[in-house]
Amino acid sequence: MAIRSPYRSVRGISAVVALLAIGAVGCSDVSDAVDSAKDGAKKVARQRSVFSLSIGDCYNPNSKGEGETMLVEIVPCDEAHAGQVVGEYKIEEEKKSYPGDEAIWAVADERCPAEAGKFTPDTWALPKGVEIFYYTPTKESWATGDRAVTCTYTKESGKFTGSLDAEAKSFKAEQTAFLKGSNGVYDALWANQPESDTVDDDLAGYKKQAKAVAAALDAHLAGLKGIEGTEVGKLRAQLTKTAEHWKKAANAADADAFYIAYDPAFTGLDPNKSVAARKELGLATTVPADEAEVWAS
C-alpha cells in the first residue's frame, strides 16, 4: 500500500491540473493546452515506483541529486533518458534494525560498480557524463522488509539514447575475456585502496592492495594468452612486468621498498597503455576522463 499510494495520488493530481489548464485558456490556445495535457498525462502514465524497477529499465528521475524519491518516469530506451537500471542486489542483513545510511552506502559503493560491469562491461564506451547512482532502502522502507538496492548509470545533466548493454550483446569471446580481466584489475586496485594517503601510516593496507592487484593481473594475463594479436601480445608482455612490480610491493619489507616497487607498478596500469590493444580488438579507445586524470597527475 505504501508503494501504490503515491502513484495513485500523482495520477489524480495531474488529471485535475490538466483539466483546469484547458478551461483557463482561450480557444486559440486550446490546441497547445491539449498537447501539453497529453504530454503530462503520458508522463504520469509512465510513472513507476522505485521499488519495482527492473534491470534494463530506462528512466528519467523526477528530481535531481541525492535524496528520497518514490517514483521515476519509465521510457523506451530509444527515447532520450537520463538513466538506466544496470544491476540490483539484496542486502544480506540478519539484524532487524536499520543499519544506517552510511553502512548501506558503503556496500553499494562496492557492489554497484560490479553489478554494472555485468550489464555493460566496457566502461570506456559509456556516454560522457554517465555515473553510478543507486536507490537504497530508507529507514522507513526497511521496516516494511525492503532490502533491495537498485544500481543505475545516470547523467546528472543531459540525457542519452539507447540501451547501455546494446554493444555488449554482440561482443566476441576475446572482447569479453579482455574486458573481464581488465575490469578485474582496476576493481582490485580501487576496492582495496587504503584510506590513509601515505604508505608509512598503513603499510599493511597498501601491501594488501598490492597483493590483490597482483592476483588480478595474473588472472588477466591468463585470459590474454588465448587472444591473438600483435598489440595484445605487446600489452601482455608489458603487464607481465607490471605484475612483478606489484608482487614486489606486496612483499616489501618496509615503506621504502614498497615505494620503489609501487611507482613502476602503478605506472604500468596507465590505461593509455592498453589503447592499441583495445583498438586491435575493436573496443572503445577513449580513456574515460576520470581515469585519464588519475594517471596524468
What range defines the domain where residue 280 resides?
171-296
Q: How many domains does the chain have?
A: 3
Instruction: Say whether both 37 and 145 belong to one domain.
Output: no
Indicate the range of 2-11, 114-123, 240-249 predicted with least confidence. 2-11
Predicted pLDDT at 15: 26
Q: Are residues 126 and 62 in the same domain?
A: yes
- Among 138, 169, 200, the domain-final residue is 169
CA 289 to chain centre: 15
Separation in Å, CA 273 to CA 26, 79, 240, 242, 278 = 65, 36, 13, 12, 10
Grid cell digits, residue 36: 501539453
Mean per-residue pLDDT, 78-91: 94
Do both 38 and 65 map to the same domain? no
- Is pLDDT above 70 for 155? yes
- pTM for the whole thing? 0.76
Closest CA to 210 of 251, 182, 180: 251
For 183-193, the pLDDT digits (tens) are 999 999 998 99
Residue 212 and residue 291 share a domain: yes
- The CA-based angle 8-10-13, given to 5 degrees, is 110
Please tell me whether residues 39 and 153 are part of one structural domain: no
Q: pLDDT tens, 263-290?
A: 999 999 999 999 999 999 999 999 998 8
d(CA 38, CA 16): 13
For residues 159 and 178, membership in a common domain is answered with no
pLDDT at 42: 58
* 11/118 same-domain check: no
Same domain, 176 and 145: no
Write the CA distances from 144 to 67, 98, 136, 147, integer angstroms: 19, 11, 13, 9
Residues 83 and 53 in one domain: yes
Same domain, 245 and 281: yes
User: Do 242 and 262 belong to one domain?
Assistant: yes
Q: Are residues 282 and 206 part of one domain?
A: yes
